Structure 1
């Protein structure tokens, strides 16, 4: 009986050692384009108007990697502001001319500089914070954004104040051009967001390297 118990314990120890010497992981990759969207606010009641930029040049730091950090941090975008699209041709023309056209550069540059995950919650989307360095009107600012990941879609949302980018003249210009429609009020706050599809392209179980 004693020998049987000792043998069972040895089997458990060997199985535990085998499990501890392995790790499971997946290779992640971004699939398709990166979409950049925005929300502006007008009128004293802060009515929201949203849209996207049609011309976004995305340069990923890597084609694939083991986690979000390895494929996102260091990635950058170049946004052509003349491609603004709010599904209203007249509005888009005014935004391109009287707002973005008043800035020192028609392009907005952005780069992901950091990402931190929240504690995992079972059966809930993954969440965390992503820091994005934005360069607009010759001014650089690091903007924190909240991200969520669910159903292979990584989406980050945040907000900026146009005045932080020395764009007071641009704000005054668009407010003047749309004074009646905006009821004399164009807000300096704007919402920003981006999303992309991330898929697991390869999953495997690999032995851990023995420590020396």
Structure 2
């Protein structure tokens, strides 16, 4: 009987120890999930834009090859993006123009006609599933509504349409159209540069 009691006691202690071990493992896993943070990767971010010329509204694409972010993390992708401050150097503008003249014209005539020509800066905001960028350009700060798509909790796509008039940039647009007058003519002989610019930002969130 004594041996049986000792055996039962050992068995009970073994079961309790096993349960405690499983509980500790589960707690560790829960804590790991709870402490997982999402952080925007600047090196995995692209800022592309599409402008338009001629009365036929022919697309002209380009990008900014550099985007700088203040370091920020969040428990969810939305938290990582909300209130995220950024700046984009104008010098990083690139259009892959074969003649190697378009970039200089945009930098000198368009952005060169503005105030604060070194950076475009701003902050992302998220509220009730809606996103916007509070964007500062040409000394003017305005909100740019954005559509967002998040896949796999990590890949983020933000799209919107910028109306240059809202940033008092029509004089700068006219200066650009002047140096590109013949290049912006369509079959009708009219030279035109449109004031709406499509914006497409792609980024990737890493787990921290």
- Give the match for residue 134 of structure 1: 135
Match of 2:107 among 79, 86, 96: 96
SS in 1 for 2:166: helix
Q: Which runs of 5 or more structure 1 residues have no equivalent in the other structure?
A: 1-21, 118-128, 202-212
Task: Kindly report the root-mean-square deviation, in angstroms, between the aligned alpha carbons of the 2 structures.
Answer: 2.0
Give the 3 Å change call, closer, same or farther, for CA 30–77 of structure 1 in structure 2. Answer: closer
Residue correspondence of structure 1 range 58-137 to structure 2 within 5 A = 58-60=69-71, 62=72, 64-88=73-97, 89-106=100-117, 107-117=119-129, 129-137=130-138
Give the 3 Å change call, closer, same or farther, for CA 82–199 of structure 1 in structure 2. Answer: closer
Q: Alpha-carbon deviation of 1:52?
A: 0.9
TM-score by length of 2: 0.73
Give the 3 Å change call, closer, same or farther, for CA 135–32 of structure 1 in structure 2. Answer: closer
Runs of 4+ in 1 over 3 A off after TM superposition: 24-27
Inter-partner Cα distance in structure 2 for 1:171 and 1:45: 18
Looking at secondary structure, tell me which structure has more strand per residue.
1
Q: Which is greater in Rg?
A: 2
- Give the match for residue 154 of structure 1: 156
Contact residue 154 and residue 195 of structure 1 kept, 8 A = yes
- Say whether 1:50 aligns with 2:51: no
Contact residue 82 and residue 100 of structure 1 kept, 8 A = no
Give the 3 Å change call, closer, same or farther, for CA 198–189 of structure 1 in structure 2. Answer: same
TM-score by length of 1: 0.72
Inter-partner Cα distance in structure 2 for 1:101 and 1:162: 15
Inter-partner Cα distance in structure 2 for 1:141 and 1:66: 28
Contact residue 171 and residue 186 of structure 1 kept, 8 A = yes
Looking at secondary structure, tell me which structure has more helix per residue.
2
Give the 3 Å change call, closer, same or farther, for CA 56–30 of structure 1 in structure 2. Answer: closer
